[in-house]
Amino acid sequence: MQRTLVLVKPDGVQRGLVGEILRRLEQRGLKLVGLKMMQISNEVAARHYAEHQGKPFYDGLLAFITSGPVVAMIWEGREAVSVVRSLMGTTDPLKAAPGTIRGDLALDLGMNLIHGSDSPARAETEIVLFFSHGELHDYDRTIDRWIRE
């Protein structure tokens, strides 16, 4: 099973959308294996967004992601990265399909509610950036036999 990081960004927390976002991921059949509310430090934010360093929007990204608490989650499931990415919708909410988190709940590119790892390799890097091994939980769900063969 694949794991991926999901962050409900400060705008999602402030708007009270954590439960709705979590609900959508659970309903899809993904398994929650890590969850915490946290304030992202400047150091972690800089490491998280290192690929964007030097771009015109970099400073704004850091300022936004550190502006308030986020809810960090690790989800597990078959093709979890691509499943989460499809549930999120495109980065620009105005171009996101109805039925996606961004398509239904967001209007602004900078305030797009959610982050999800964009590849399995990136997920591995992001998971260790936000969670220690002891914060992740391996457990069996009886419902899993009704989700996948």
Positions marked catalytic: 115
Ranges of beta strands (E only) in 10-128 are: 31-38, 70-77, 114-116
Q: Measured in Å, how far apart are the chain's first and last C-alpha atoms? A: 13
Name, in order, each residue with C-beta under 8 angstroms of 36's C-beta and a sequence gap of 6 or more: 71, 72, 131, 135
Q: What is the CA radius of gyration of the chain?
A: 15
